Amino acid sequence: MSVEFDSCTYRYRRGPVVLDGFSFRFPPGRTVLLGPNGAGKTTLLTLGSSSLKPRSGVVTFAGLRTGRRSELRDYRRQVGWLPQQVTPVAGMSCREQVAYAGWLKGMPRAAAWAAAVPALDRVGLAKKADQQTGSLSGGQLRRVGVAQTLVHSSRLVLMDEPTAGLDPAQRTTFRRVVEQLAEVADVIVSTHQTEDLWEVYDHVVVLADGRVHFTGTVAEFHAVAPVDAAPGRVAEAAYAAVLGGGEDW
């Protein structure tokens, strides 16, 4: 199972409509959501996390709807969310911030506290469990954000540009995390970078101008590229082909 959007419309106050009657069911497994800046990726995932509610339409996961107050708490327990910006909580250590995220998702305090260190260990930060989050580098703080999505055993994990600010070693750690997550949860990761982690994912979805322009396996996506695409740049060529050559993006 995965998250489904049915006739969803959303616009920000005083802004244009970002999604207009958007309907799409994400495939199960590991999906990379690709698209240019302004495509609607962040809005879509934020709706999926329930941090935003559509002006009309329905968001569903595991039979639970974000628009039903009686189901919202259970929905949020099922869904882990990593936004683009991870904010350190003043005075909290890494372990405390991760445990706090688990408590906010409905975990008992003791269970959240116990689960925080294994979650940090999965992103390579167990040795910094007692360090205050305000003293971390940007890449380390983003990994704390990933740990926050892991602590409450989500069945669906949504990540918005999670590799931004990560060095090559940290990106390798992130790949391992996604591979491990796929054993227990569906994963949707948004990016606008075609070189991001192609070997990790099962599916590709390309979003532009609030519409899905492509959905398929990674192999099917690569097959869209022109036959004369340069080695090592097949994904980039496929992306340009899906978006009509890229002139307007």
Q: Which of 2-11, 12-21, 210-219 has the lowest mean pLDDT?
A: 12-21
Within-domain flag for 218: yes
For residue 26, what is the domain's CATH number? 3.40.50.300
Distance CA 17, CA 9 (A): 8
218-241: average pLDDT? 90
Within-domain flag for 247: no
Distance CA 155, CA 78 (A): 5
Backbone angles phi, psi at 22, to 5 degrees: -75, 125
Burial pattern 34-58, b for ≥16 Cβ within 10 A else e, equals bbbeebbbbbbbbbbbbebebeebe
Number of folded domains in the chain?
1
**Helix, strand, coil percentages in the chain from 3-state DSSP, rounded to 5:** 40, 25, 40
Q: Is the pLDDT of residue 157 over 50?
A: yes
Within-domain flag for 36: yes
Q: For residue 56, give the 3-state DSSP assignment.
A: strand
pLDDT in tens, 92-131: 999 999 999 999 988 999 999 999 999 999 888 999 999 9
Q: Which domain holds residue 83?
A: 4-242
What is the model's pLDDT at position 184? 80
Distance CA 76, CA 6 (A): 18
CA-closest candidate to residue 225, choices 210, 236, 214, 211: 236
By the 8 A CB rule, do 1 and 25 touch? no
Within-domain flag for 248: no
Please count the residues of the chain.
Answer: 249
Whole-structure pTM value: 0.89
